[in-house]
Amino acid sequence: MPILQQTASKNLGRSFFRTSKQAQTTRSLFTQSAPVKRTPIRTGLYTTAFVLSAGVFAVYYFDARSALHRYVLTPALRNVLDAETGHKVAVKALRAGIAPKDPVQDDARLKCKLWGEDISNPVGLAAGFDKDGEAIDGLFDLGFSWVEIGSVTPKPQPGNPRPRMFRLEEDDAVINRYGFPSQGHSSVLSRVRSRIPLFGTPPERAALREGAMLAVNLGKNKESPAESVDDFVAGVRTFGPYADVLVVNVSSPNTPGLRGLQNKELLESLLENVTKARDNLEPSVLTAKRPRIVLKIAPDLEESQLIEMADVIRRSKIDGVIVSNTTIQRPKTLRSANKSEIGGLSGPPIKPFSLKAVQILRSQLPSSIPLIGCGGIVSGRDALDYARAGASMVQVYTGFGYDGVGACRRIKDQLAEELEKEGKTWDQIVNESVDKLSWVEPPPPEKVEPTVSQLVAEAEELKAMLEKLGESLEKLGNLLTYTVASAFSVIMIMETTPTRPSRVPKPSTPSIKSSASTSSISSVTPRNVPSISSRISVRHGISEENLVLLSANPPETKLTNLSYNPLKKDERGLPSIIDKETGVQVHRHSDLWFDDGSVICRAENTLFCVHMSQLARHSLVFHDMVMLSHPETSRLDSSMVIPEGTNTFSRRVPVVYLFDVAEDVGNLLTALYDGPNFGNNDEDDFRAVSGILRLSSKYLIDSLRAKALAHLSLAWPSDLKTWDMREDISRGYEIEGTPGYTHRYPHPFNVISLAREVNAPSLLPSAFYDLSRYSFSQIFEPTEDEPLYRSPPLPPLLALDTRRLALGREASQNAITTLIQSMGSGQYIRHAQQHPTSSHSRKASSAGICVSAAACRKDFTELVDLATQHYLFDRERGCYDPLYVAEELGQLKSAEFSECKACAKSLEAWAAREREKIWKMIPFWFRLESGGDISPTLH
């Protein structure tokens, strides 16, 4: 290669590399600085800081006492998740072992004894949180000395439909209607058994830890017979070897018929069977003992019922009582919008009811039967109140859900502080209260040796009694002689009389009998117990003024006189049913007769065989009838034996008499089963909806009442927008020439009467206004071709409502006159001040300014004259309807003189404002009470 070429190549190469290096080091907008080299020391420091931070956070997180759980994590879960989902997440976290623990040893002052066994502290967890035994050890780790799982039913069941758990955050309370959702005995038993260690020293208790107890709450399946005790006996046999305590739950308000087991006879049978099953168990291979049996009761029992129950408990072999379960009562102090939900209420509002029940039972039970208090315990002071009332332990539930995992530790710390102030231990306070308040068996009467004078007096008294007995026997002998002689003469006459052919005996048919213990629905006699409306008023804080429909014709169960007629079949091919009192045939409803129904409702001459659970789930009245037990002296049950399909077996079903129209009852039950299916608000639809609204108000079915009112409000609204839609529909029928369009909506008389009956004042303004659009002759003396004519004539308005109508019509006429005068004042003309001109020629307006005010004022004067003649003198259509007049006046300018857009739009805006004012004034015109539609349960 030539030298010149080699030199050029070398210079070119150096130039290239130099250029590349410069290009690499040149900084631009997107150039990043070279990363700083990390030394091993720096990396180690970062790693150490991360590990220490994570360790500190872990220690803080896994400590149940940390404020993180109470003020951050628990409120966050409540705000993000619904009540039931949050509940399930908490159980899963405890099961997985990622939940916090209580690292502090219990204070010595908190130690207590139960059935002679040491317990580390008196705070336990009530049933309902861990329903299927998934997080037993996680709950013990939070510091509870008693963990109660369940309720557990023999067969798996899903419980009630969701939503079934509701937070009342303003009251720190919860309402649930779970209905015993359970995975069944087999699944829960496998979890309990999986905890048992395979090696090591056998535990002394099923809790597998010192100073604690494991309890299993036993429930019954929903489809089991109401009075059956087999589910509880099966639970004792299944879980007896693996539990320290078995809890017999007869107090859940969410299982139809369950609370009926609290009645005296049924409770005696139940306790006898479960204790017998327990005594027949072999001592547990785990604890070498048999489990304790504890009864869980409701706080809704009357004092007389608690006394009867205590008498049964004293004579039984059970070991204790938990007082109490959730309540169906609704205190007046509740503020949350969810307070009207059906289900059991728990939390601080229940504390007075539970505490009172503890005090009553403590005074009726011996000290050998401990009580466990449950209900509204959220602090150490609450626990101490139960101890002073005679409870040996306490249980928490709702407070645990609101305060989080540290609730147990906080209650124990507060309790220790309270005990330190008093200088006593928990055991000392409990023993003092139990010794002072417990029932003591009265001593037997002393035997007194009779004296000689007493013996002589008794002998003379006995002699006089024998003499009277002799005289009576002599008279009786004479009577018997006469009777035998008469009977002999009758027999002789019959033997000499020709005999008639004997009748073929009738086949035996099911009969309707009175039963004192087969039904969980009870009827209360007025002599002993208040009426059902009075009980609901007391239990749920509802004024009796809002229970007028119920108190006028309450449902009741009474001795029935129905019988089968096997010689006559109904349309279903079943024997017809006859009312023996009247001789009238009673019909089964074609769609609402379920072969598996658990209650028969009779309305007029129609029978409905439906499900108790369906009625109790929706209606507060039927819920109380089904769920609440009543004193035996006040029970008068009726029942009916019905065949089980095509089988030869039969079962007894209670009969409830509903003193309502059968058609309305059928519509109500159909709406409860299938949901409401309303129509187009015509008269036929109104007849069905009004019946549903009337009965849903009577039986306190708030959800259905709200839906019926919402449907009626489409035709009788409380806002102007919906009223305009109603009128547009009516005018559409009129324009189309639809026959009978004037009768599309029901007569306002019927709407006003219904609104008064069911306390729905929101329907009244539109009903009165609709009525006021007619003349008095059209209202009170309509002819056949007029819209308000009905045959037969409707009942007249009340005198006070007639006066309201007259005052309202006068006010509406004045409103029309005022409207026309206001339009003629010209105050709505948009003057063109920034565009002075002397020309009155009509120009197209722009920017919303009138360019010819004088001409527009003249136009308004002509329109006022036209409206005055049309509405005030000629009395044309709409002359009694100020809303219609205002709407028409607002359209006059744009319809006739559209050149001035500014004044036309101004007139339309004025008319819209006037219509809003008129609508707001309607209740004042007719002197109607203000306020919306309030369900009786919300009063």
Question: What is the 3-state secondary structure of 331-398?
Answer: CCCCCCHHHHCCCEEECHHHHHHHHHHHHHHHCCCCCCCCEEEECCCCCHHHHHHHHHHCCCEEEECH
Q: Which amino acid is at 106?
A: D
CA distance 933 to 757: 12
CA distance 641 to 72: 59
Query: Which one of 252, 379, 576, 697 is the catalytic residue?
Result: 252
Strand order in the sheet with 639-643: 562-569, 575-579, 585-593, 606-610, 599-603, 650-658, 639-643
Spacing of C-alpha 658 from chain mean position: 22
φ, ψ for residue 555, nearest 5 deg: -70, 150
Kind of pairing, strands 112-114 and 117-119? antiparallel
Task: Evaluate whether 401 touches 94 at the Cβ level (below 8 Å).
Answer: no
The helix (run of H) or strand (run of E) holding residue 345 is strand 344-346
Q: Which amino acid is at 817?
A: T
Helix 683-698 and helix 662-674, axial crossing angle in degrees, nearest 10: 80
* Nearest C-alpha neighbor of 655 from the set 512, 492, 813, 551: 512
* Nearest C-alpha neighbor of 616 from the set 551, 560, 672: 672
252 included as an active-site residue: yes
CA distance 814 to 794: 29
pLDDT of residue 825: 63
In which residue ranges of the chain is pLDDT below 70? Answer: 1-38, 50-61, 202, 257, 445-452, 472-530, 532-533, 537-541, 545, 558-561, 626-651, 733-743, 824-855, 860, 873-878, 892-899, 930-939
Tokens linked to 305: 């019922």
Task: Evaluate whether 529 touches 538 at the Cβ level (below 8 Å).
Answer: no
Residue labelled with tokens 């001109």: 837
Which residues, in sequence order, are CB contacts of 833 under 8 Å at separation 6+? none
pLDDT of residue 215: 97
- Structure letter (DSSP) for residue 338: G
CA distance 292 to 236: 10
Q: Which amino acid is at 860?
A: F
**Residue 62: how many CA atoms within 13 Å on its side-chain side?**
11
Q: How many CB atoms lie within 10 A of CB 568?
A: 11
Tokens linked to 55: 């360790």
Tokens linked to 745: 């909506």
Task: Evaluate whether 621 touches 532 at the Cβ level (below 8 Å).
Answer: yes
**Residue 251: how many CA atoms within 13 Å on its side-chain side?**
27
Rg (CA), the chain: 41
Q: Which amino acid is at 539?
A: R
Task: Evaluate whether 752 touches 795 at the Cβ level (below 8 Å).
Answer: no
How do the residues of the chain divide into helix, strand and coil, expressed in percent and rounded to 5? 50, 10, 40
pLDDT of residue 414: 95
Number of continuous H segments (helices) and E segments (strands) in the chain: 31, 20
The helix/strand/coil state of 850 is coil
pLDDT of residue 158: 92
> Which is it for the CA torsion 133, 137, 140, 146, positive or negative?
positive
CA distance 595 to 644: 7
- Domains detected in the chain: 67-437 (3.20.20.70), 562-736 (3.30.710.10), 805-833+850-929 (no CATH)
Task: Evaluate whether 223 touches 257 at the Cβ level (below 8 Å).
Answer: no
Which residues, in sequence order, are CB contacts of 791 under 8 Å at separation 6+? none
Task: Evaluate whether 147 touches 207 at the Cβ level (below 8 Å).
Answer: yes
CA distance 589 to 789: 34
Task: Evaluate whether 357 touches 370 at the Cβ level (below 8 Å).
Answer: no
Global pTM reads 0.54
Q: How many CB atoms lie within 10 A of CB 515?
A: 14
CA distance 717 to 720: 8
φ, ψ for residue 166, nearest 5 deg: -135, 130
CA distance 779 to 796: 10
CA distance 380 to 420: 12
Which residues, in sequence order, are CB contacts of 871 under 8 Å at separation 6+? 816, 820, 878, 879, 885
CA distance 522 to 654: 10
The helix (run of H) or strand (run of E) holding residue 146 is strand 146-152
* Nearest C-alpha neighbor of 295 from the set 280, 279, 310, 281: 310
CA dist 293 → 251, 320, 598 (Å): 15, 7, 31
CA distance 578 to 364: 49
Residue labelled with tokens 């009238």: 584
Task: Evaluate whether 566 touches 509 at the Cβ level (below 8 Å).
Answer: yes
Q: Which amino acid is at 211?
A: G
Task: Evaluate whether 598 touches 653 at the Cβ level (below 8 Å).
Answer: yes
* Nearest C-alpha neighbor of 609 from the set 577, 565, 567: 577
CA distance 84 to 176: 9
Q: Which ranges in 759-852 belong to alpha helices (H)?
A: 764-772, 776-780, 799-824
Kind of pairing, strands 320-323 and 213-218? unpaired
The CA dihedral of 523, 528, 531, 537, to the nearest 10 degrees, is: -120
